[in-house]
């Protein structure tokens, strides 16, 4: 029942453009090396946690779901098999952590109101068109409604436990400043160019005569564009074959490196090309391009004062602190627990 696995961090926090994919997950504290797996007893269990058994079927369903979503794991190659083995170990550790937290919630006498459980079950059922579809899902998963309610209860109780364990965590201006100093690349804004172009379509397989004709036309347009008081936008509207930008006077907008066709990027970001310059003809798979540079914005760094109170950055740092606190608690629970792995 992998849809009930706990995400051990605040959920739903999105990051601004300058922070996407930059915040790395917090590593769990060092724990005891894992003991070698013991042959599983009859009954098909993946592990026992303080006497609570984790069904092997639950683990296998999670791994199978991950495998189904990644073609690279669907081969018999040694690399794929090792990756699957690693994933299986990681998912089992997640199941064990979830079970430890559920047990801790029970020890702390955290009780979930029946109405909350019923509401969560009702929301789950909205994922199915009919009750028959829901029942078929249960049957395929070898679960009962009671099993689902227990999983919901565990998840909700763990969420409440997590809230209690991390309620005192706050993010200060010093925390933001420390992250800012430690991750300068996160706050860099790349160099950008704003440009217009006139594109003359040219099939790469065109005859030499056709290619020569288009080249002569491009050279002529280049001369017109470079003429004194030339109106590049008007030339683009009258001559460009790029239907996307033609009516915009050839405007390609603003772009950074890696966001434009390589040949056009190379021409626009050339250090010797200045604002107002006309360059070309530039050859791409689409044809020949005459390009005007409208603006160049150098690389910069977002000032600390501009992110000091950024709610999304604070949310990311809060998520990091919460995860670290939960990791510490899980490590302590693991140290004190009796855990036996069978796979």
What would you report as the CA-atom Rg of the chain, rounded to the nearest whole angstrom? 30
Tens digit of pLDDT per residue, the chain (343 long)? 433 332 322 232 233 333 333 333 333 334 444 444 555 554 689 999 999 999 998 899 899 989 999 999 999 999 999 999 999 999 999 999 999 999 999 999 999 999 999 999 999 999 999 999 999 998 888 889 998 999 999 999 999 999 999 999 999 999 999 999 999 999 999 999 999 999 999 988 889 999 999 999 999 999 999 999 999 999 999 999 999 999 999 999 999 999 999 999 999 999 999 999 999 899 999 999 999 999 999 999 999 999 999 999 999 999 999 999 999 999 999 999 999 999 8
Query: Which residues lie below 8 Å from residue 81, measured CB to CB, with a gap of 6+?
Result: none
Delimiting residues of CATH 1.10.4030.10 domain(s) in the chain = 2-185+305-341
Q: Residue 30's pLDDT is what? A: 42
Spatial distance between the Cα atoms of 235 and 220, rounded to a whole number of angstroms: 11
Q: Residue 38's pLDDT is what? A: 55
Residue 216: other Cβ atoms inside 10 A: 10
Secondary structure letter of residue 36 according to DSSP: P
Query: Which residues lie below 8 Å from residue 312, measured CB to CB, with a gap of 6+?
Result: 13, 14, 15, 16, 19
Delimiting residues of CATH 3.10.50.40 domain(s) in the chain = 191-298
- 2-185+305-341 — its CATH code? 1.10.4030.10
- b/e per residue, 298-318, with b = 16+ CB within 10 A? eeeeeeeeebeebeebbbbbb
Q: Which residues pair with 316 in a beta bridge?
A: none
Instruction: Check: CB of residue 5 under 8 Å from CB of residue 98.
Output: yes
The whole model's pTM is what? 0.64
Q: Residue 140's pLDDT is what? A: 85
What is the chain's percent helix, strand, coil content, to nearest 5? 50, 15, 35
Q: Residue 128's pLDDT is what? A: 93
Packing angle, helices 78-107 and 145-166, rounded to 10: 80
Instruction: Check: CB of residue 200 under 8 Å from CB of residue 242.
Output: no
Q: Residue 8's pLDDT is what? A: 27
Spatial distance between the Cα atoms of 301 and 51, rounded to a whole number of angstroms: 54
Nearest C-alpha neighbor of 242 from the set 268, 216, 267, 261: 261
Q: Hey, what CATH class is 191-298 in? A: alpha beta
Q: Residue 85's pLDDT is what? A: 93
Q: Residue 275's pLDDT is what? A: 96
């Amino acid at each position: 029942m992998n849809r009930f696995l706990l995400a051990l961090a605040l959920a739903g926090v999105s990051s601004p453009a300058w922070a996407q994919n930059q915040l790395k997950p917090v590593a769990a504290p060092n724990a005891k090396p894992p003991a070698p797996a013991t042959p599983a007893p009859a009954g098909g269990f993946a592990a026992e946690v303080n006497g609570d058994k984790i069904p092997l079927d639950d683990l296998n369903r999670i791994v199978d779901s991950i495998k189904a979503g990644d073609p690279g794991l669907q081969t018999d190659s040694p690399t794929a098999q090792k990756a699957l083995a690693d994933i299986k170990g990681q998912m089992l550790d997640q199941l064990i952590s979830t079970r430890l937290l559920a047990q801790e919630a029970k020890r702390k006498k955290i009780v979930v109101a029946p109405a909350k459980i019923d509401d969560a079950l009702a929301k789950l059922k909205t994922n199915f068109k009919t009750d028959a579809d829901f029942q078929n899902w249960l049957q395929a998963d070898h679960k009962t409604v009671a099993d689902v309610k227990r999983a919901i209860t565990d998840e909700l109780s763990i969420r409440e436990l997590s809230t209690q364990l991390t309620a005192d965590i706050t993010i200060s201006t010093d925390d933001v400043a420390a992250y800012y100093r430690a991750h300068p690349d996160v706050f860099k804004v790349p160099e950008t160019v704003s440009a217009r172009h006139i594109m003359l379509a040219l099939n790469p397989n065109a005859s030499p005569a056709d290619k020569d004709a288009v080249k002569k036309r491009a050279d002529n347009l280049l001369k017109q564009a470079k003429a004194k008081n030339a109106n590049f936008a008007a030339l683009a509207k009258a001559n460009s074959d790029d239907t996307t930008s033609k009516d915009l006077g050839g405007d390609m907008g603003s772009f950074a490196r890696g966001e434009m066709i390589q040949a056009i990027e190379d021409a626009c970001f050339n250090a010797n090309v200045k604002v107002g310059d006309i360059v070309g003809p530039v050859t791409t798979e689409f044809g020949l391009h005459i390009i005007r540079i409208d603006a160049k914005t150098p690389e910069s760094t977002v000032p600390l004062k501009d992110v000091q109170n950024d709610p999304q950055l604070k949310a990311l740092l809060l998520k990091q602190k919460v995860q670290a606190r939960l990791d510490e608690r899980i490590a302590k629970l693991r140290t004190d627990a009796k855990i036996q792995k069978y796979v």
